Amino acid sequence: MITILFEIIGELLNLFRWAVILAAVFSMLASFGVIDTRNRLVYTIGDFLYRITEPVLRPIRNILPSFGNIDLSPLVLILLISAAQMLLGRIYGAIVMGNVQGLFL
């Protein structure tokens, strides 16, 4: 049961990482005019990605200093998600395998 829970959390983190990547690429393509956001389907996809990622990216943007037009908040969020996945793996190892020393290394 605990394995399933950790697998679901890991997959949700992985899906969210891909949503952040897609939102960053979508934003870049829209700002360069490669995709037309007046198209209903394109607008719906962009709005969905914005609504999913913006609540997490906004606090990171408030903390990071301004780099002009370069937005590094998706990169910081991807690094935080990777750190959370590594921590999740260590917690799983500590719970299932009884490897408590591996949790603190």
Question: What confidence tens digit (pLDDT) does each residue in 48-96 have?
Answer: 999 999 999 999 999 998 888 889 999 999 999 999 999 998 898 888 8
Cα dihedral 62, 63, 66, 72 in deg (nearest 10): -100
What pLDDT shows up at residue 69?
84
Higher confidence at residue 38 or residue 94? 38
Q: What is the pTM of this model?
A: 0.87
What are the structural domain ranges in the chain? 2-104
pLDDT for residue 102 is more than 80: no
